[in-house]
Amino acid sequence: MFYFYIFIMTTGCRSFAHFCYFLIKTIKILNTKALDFFVVLCYTFCMIEMNGKKLSSKIKESIKEHIEKNYVEKQLTPPCLVCILVGNDPASKIYVASKEKQAREVGIVSFTEKLDENASADEVKQLITKLNNMDSVSGILLQLPLPKKLSSHEREIVNTIDPQKDVDFLTDINLGKLFADRSSIAPCTASGIMEILHEYDAEIKGKKAVVIGRSLLVGKSVAALLLKEGATVEICHSKTKDLAASTKTADILICAVGKPNFVNKDMVKPGAVCVDVGINRVEDKTCEKGYKVVGDMDKSVSEVASKLTPVPNGVGPMTIALLFQNTVTLHEEKFPLKKENTKNKVCDNCQKNFKI
């Protein structure tokens, strides 16, 4: 019977395999511990990697074709994304430069406005207001986190962004639309997670989803999107008692806490769909760089999960792809393709950074 179970799991007949599992369990042909071991063994061989890098490449290629067809060939100005970088944080500088480069590769006009780390909250808000008033700017992205001296003003600064240009969807107005189910887009990382679940045919409706982490950027936002699609959602956080008791009930488990290897296989229900949002650097002297990148989920999770996002090449690349998709969506809400709007002109910075 065990070899039969292994066969149907490895040949993709998962539903029938689960039926056999519960049938065997019911009639007590095998004891529970043995069955759990068999399930873990089967998922070890059958676990599907939900590769966000491959999916993000497909999305970016689609955006590139869309812009080529609807803007370049018609000699219309394409969407424009402006990133605001405050301070000199090395990681933020690399991340913003990567976004700008990838945006141009898909045909989106992109440039970065930089402010000194000593810039005041008013100076940042003045720059945002200037960009709000430029018709040529489709989307504004404020790179977070801000320098420490501005951390207490973060929400105030974010809310200066015109909601119609808020590509990260983090203004209070846009978050209200998200939770009221009245938005056309959502925060990039949360949207990226949902795209991954759809691409790899993860069943959402009627399933139990547990989200570890309650940030606006990921936890609360992805919880709202899961609710919209009919999942029963539980949000866990640092104050949750007996976290494992909650996570082991999850058909879909999403972790976004920024703690390396936080979730292990003992916290995961066999057969769960697992999304690892974490990107953490841990010291590893065996690596050339002296560190390695790991997620919030331990490698052992792959032994019990039916589907799992890798780190790296999981959620991270999807965040950038959805940033570009949001930029195009917001641009076309303001300038519908069926109407040629004379206000859709290229700004000076855009002229320097993009050629039709």
Provide the annotated active-site residues: 99, 143, 168
Q: Is the peptide bond before 145 cis (omega within 30 degrees of 0)?
A: yes
**Pairing of the two strands 307-308 and 48-49:** parallel
d(CA 5, CA 134): 62
**What would the two tokens of residue 239 be?**
């104050």
Residue entry with tokens 């052992």: 300
d(CA 8, CA 56): 31
What's the one-letter identity of residue 63?
I
**What would the two tokens of residue 265 be?**
């296989």
d(CA 123, CA 156): 13
The answer to whether the CB of 277 falls within 8 A of the CB of 255 is: yes
Shortest CA distance to 146 belongs to which of 172, 120, 110, 126? 120
Q: Residue ranges of the alpha helices (H) in 133-229?
A: 154-158, 172-179, 188-199, 219-228
What's the one-letter identity of residue 212?
I
Q: How many residues does the chain have?
A: 356
Shortest CA distance to 331 belongs to which of 82, 16, 30? 82
Dihedral of the alpha carbons of 330, 334, 338, 340, in degrees to the nearest 10? -130
What letter does residue 251 receive in the DSSP assignment?
Answer: S
Q: What are phi and psi of 53, to 5 degrees?
A: -65, -45
**What would the two tokens of residue 49 be?**
């990697």
